[in-house]
Structure 1
Amino acid sequence: MLPMTGLRLQSPLRTISVLLVHFLLAHFCRGQSQLIGSPQPIVATIGDDIILPCHLEPAVDITAKTLEWTRPDLDPRFVYLWRAGQDHVKAKNPAYKGRTLFAGELKHGNISLKLSKVKPSDEGRYRCYIPDLTIDSFIVLVVGE
């Protein structure tokens, strides 16, 4: 009798497992990319050149998309703005002009931002955002001496 009981329990568990796997595959395979940044703060020393990581998974060519790097506590808030295939320098906060560029490859979904000559005032929370896809990621920069 014991082997039969074991088989009866195994069958519902197997059914639940199959349904769970099916649900997870359906949920995660919808083609929706996610922006991945750094879960840990990026630590920089004054004067460093650093990379603020941000990329799409799965990778998608985003050359033709609008891409924004912002700091909500600034006015204007734009650290970097890419629209219609070009850098919109006039929209940038003056503190970042000439100090930012894409370090990644847009064709491969990499929109990491290189920030040169880090200053104490660069410390803060940055937002990597693709408005067309309504997805974003936040990265914290900590600046030490």
Structure 2
Amino acid sequence: MKAEVKWIGDELFMATSESGHSLVLDANAGALAPSPLENVLLSLGGCSSVDVVSILQKARQNISGCKVEIAAKRLDTVPRLFSDIHLHFVIQGRDVNAKHVERAVSLSADKYCSVALMLNKAVNISHDFQIINDEK
């Protein structure tokens, strides 16, 4: 896998993936686009969500939505690394079984999410979930 990041002016950088997709990163605390560290959180949330949705669909859970709210704490020293990241999954659907959701979230965190597994070596990552039942 390859990627390229090119400075495009001020504190803006264009990141382009091997598959040809691009996104802007802003080193100025995310004033005009996500900062590189914000993008790490977005990647973690995306990776984890893909796993959770896939696992719940394979378990034949009738889900209509999946959202993950991510909260991170950073160290006060330079470099300002993440110390803790918490993922709160909000699963929406009809008659969704909490045991299936718990299993999906745990499998993502412990086995499938590449981003979480890489970050886990240096960051305390926790997770929980809630289920919102669709009206029948």
TM-score band, normalised by the shorter chain?
Answer: under 0.3
Structure-1-length-normalised TM-score: 0.25
Structure with greater contact order relative to length (CA < 8 Å, sep ≥ 6): 1
Structure with greater Cα Rg:
1
Query: Please, what TM-score do these two structures have when normalized by structure 2?
Result: 0.26
